[in-house]
Amino acid sequence: MSENSQYEILWKPIRENLEQTLAHITFTTYISGLVPVDVDGTRIVLKTETEFFAKTIVHQLKDKIKAAIAKADTGITDFVLMVAGSDEPYYRPDNEEFDDDYTPVAVDPRFTFESFVAGKSNEFVFAAAQSVAKNPGANFNPLYIYGASGLGKTHLLQSIANYINLHKPSLRVLYTTCEKFINELIDSIYLSKGNNRDLLARFRSRYRNVDVLLIDDVQFLAKKQAVQEELFHTFNALQAEKKQVVLTSDVPPKEIATLEERLRTRFEGGLIADIQPPDTETKIAILKQKAFERKAVIPADVLEFLARDSGTDVRTLEGRLTKVVFAGKLHEQPVTMELAMTALREAVSEEHETVTSDKIIGSVCSFYKIGKENLLGKSKKKELVQPRQICAYLMCEIMNIPLVSIGEAMGGRDHTTIIHSREKISNLVKVNDRIAKEVEDIRNMILKQ
């Protein structure tokens, strides 16, 4: 008898119990397609076709399946749920993360007011963010920060969260991205149509029972009327209780396409602060701060050189510094103007607009000798995860496109996943010479093609 047949024997009486207790449409939609693929101790491992099916099963049918398992009395005590194409369980009974429909967005502890370099271009918005953090709900409510990508909006938003968590721990602070807010709302609406009708109420309670709500990238509200409606009521509920709201966006409220008038007036009812590109003096100060964090010694003339012709965003500036610091490590010599000019020669002269996501993906696949399908898939194997993160990092560094577009190119991943990958590799190249060299070699492959 094959292993699959053994798993099927264990699963059959459980499935029959479920067929007797569930509505026909529920059983045929979600249960009949489940395939037993393994046994983990006393837990049967089941596979479903899509993540949507998995989410529905966990939130609506988990207890029914457990009851059917107990009634079958086959020695199986619980179940593990997999999604086709993924090597990691979507649900395990000993992983509490999947017992709730919400996983908070992590706040980076490195993003503090102390590590933010303020200059003429951003001193006003910096002061406003500090004021809100020190006295939530008292001034500038809401605080709306807008500016181009890479100027420090997320840094300031998370600095507010970190400051309040440290100095006012009794306050409930919730930081999220607009994309996550949208996805959670959609999930709660669809899943509430089943047995778990309280999911939408739980979603609303989570966002409305806080003291400080921080939402990143609200430009993604464009053309999403149902989401705007929900945020409007959330906004009103918080303001009625004098709770603090802080929002960031690439554009001012009036430039968000099809933003409802009533929501626009709410956004404009507090303080709107734009964050401008840093001037040369601020760029040099930022470079000094970043060099200090990396314990790198960079001469003043090199700092000035790096600040010149570096574009308008801080990430590009940091990328230039990374390249020079790595060159010093690679050649085992102090950073000099000559070394910096050599390291940046291609970066200064090349026009990156011609680099496409396909070119970067192809270069990463070629370097690591893996297929595009595996790179963009959902496997959590280390030999795939790190190249995938490096690919996302290089897209952020080289291509001037929104994070959401990078996520789409990377197999439909969300905004927060791309941010995590970018930050992960950005940190690794500072401390891991092997990773730094691999990233640099791939970058050279891309720019020379």
Can you give the residue ranges of every domain in the chain? 3-99, 123-274, 280-448
- CA gap 271, 277 in Å, rounded: 20
User: ∠ CA 92-210-128 to the nearest 5 degrees?
Assistant: 120
Q: Do 132 and 160 touch, CB atoms closer than 8 A?
A: yes
Question: Positive or negative CA dihedral for 405, 410, 415, 418?
Answer: negative
- CA gap 392, 420 in Å, rounded: 9
For 128, 339, 426, the CA distances from 285, given in Å and listed in that order, are 21, 21, 19
**What's the token pair of residue 135?**
């006295």
**According to the CATH classification, is domain 3-99 in 2.30.30.60?**
no
Q: Do 223 and 258 touch, CB atoms closer than 8 A?
A: yes
Give tens-digit pLDDT for 128-149: 999 999 999 988 999 999 988 7
**Nearest alpha carbon to residue 184 among 104, 256, 88, 248:** 104
Tell me the pLDDT band of 150, cut-offs 50, 70 and 90: confident
Averaged pLDDT, 225-231: 90
- pTM: predicted TM-score of the whole model, two decimal places: 0.57
3-state secondary structure of 244: strand
Please check the confidence at residue 383 and state whether its pLDDT lies above 50. yes
Q: Do 422 and 335 touch, CB atoms closer than 8 A?
A: no
pLDDT for position 353: 47
- CA gap 414, 409 in Å, rounded: 10
For the chain, what is the total number of helices (H) and then of strands (E)?
20, 8
Q: Which helix (H) or strand (E) holds 415?
A: helix 415-431
Identify the architecture of domain 123-274 in CATH: 3-Layer(aba) Sandwich (3.40)
- CA gap 447, 79 in Å, rounded: 49
Peptide bond into 142 cis (omega under 30): yes
- CA gap 55, 37 in Å, rounded: 19
- CA gap 360, 366 in Å, rounded: 10
**According to the CATH classification, is domain 280-448 in 1.10.1750.10?**
yes
Q: Which helix (H) or strand (E) holds 43?
A: strand 43-48
Please check the confidence at residue 351 and state whether its pLDDT lies above 50. no
**What's the token pair of residue 270?**
């507090």
Give tens-digit pLDDT for 384-437: 999 999 999 999 888 767 788 898 899 988 877 888 888 889 888 877 878 888
Please list the alpha-helical segments (H only) found in 241-310.
261-267, 280-293, 300-307
Tell me the pLDDT band of 96, cut-offs 50, 70 and 90: very low
Greater confidence (126 vs 121) lies with: 126
3-state secondary structure of 23: coil
